[in-house]
């Protein structure tokens, strides 16, 4: 994996005007090499098409999700991804207005 340190990012930005988002990040996952342009800090270290988000949810839902993940030998994010995919399947959405 090739990565530039945060200090080097700042130096490059100050010296020649290259910002963090202009770099292509190369990461290696379980299914091989992935090339991803990191546009947000919430995408750092993730596979292409993924981002981090914070949500507030009920305690009982979280406990059920953790139990399902444990007994199915999956990660919590995999259980949540499957649940959201099942919920969103067949739903029609309109694009949101740009803020």
How many Cα atoms sit within 13 Å of 4 on the Cβ side? 17
Residue 99 lies in a domain: no
> Residue 10: which pLDDT band, with cuts at 50, 70 and 90?
low
Q: How many domains does the chain have?
A: 2
Q: Are 24 and 36 in contact (CB under 8 A)?
A: yes
What is the predicted pLDDT for the residue at 58?
Answer: 96
Residue 43 lies in a domain: yes
pLDDT digit string, tens, across residues 64-96? 999 999 999 999 999 999 999 999 999 999 998
Residue 97 lies in a domain: no
Residue 72 lies in a domain: yes
Answer yes or no: do 48 and 62 share one domain: no
CA distance 88 to 54: 19
Answer yes or no: do 24 and 7 share one domain: yes
What is the predicted pLDDT for the residue at 36?
Answer: 55
Residue-number span of the structural domain to which 37 is assigned:
1-52
Residue 98 lies in a domain: no
Q: Which has the higher per-residue pLDDT, 51 or 6?
A: 51
Say whether pLDDT at 37 is over 70. Answer: no
Query: What is the mean predicted confidence (pLDDT) over 26-39?
Result: 54
Put simply, whether the predicted model's pTM sits higher than 0.75 gets the answer no
């Amino acid at each position: 994996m090739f990565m530039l340190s945060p200090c080097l990012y700042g130096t490059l930005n100050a010296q020649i005007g290259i910002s963090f988002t202009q770099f292509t990040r190369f990461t290696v996952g379980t299914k091989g090499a992935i090339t991803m342009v990191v546009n947000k800090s919430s995408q750092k270290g993730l596979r292409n098409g993924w981002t981090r988000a914070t949500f507030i949810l009920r305690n009982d839902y979280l406990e059920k999700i953790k139990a399902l993940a444990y007994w199915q030998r999956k990660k919590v994010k995999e259980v949540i991804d499957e649940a959201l995919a099942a919920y969103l399947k067949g739903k029609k959405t309109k694009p949101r207005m740009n803020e």
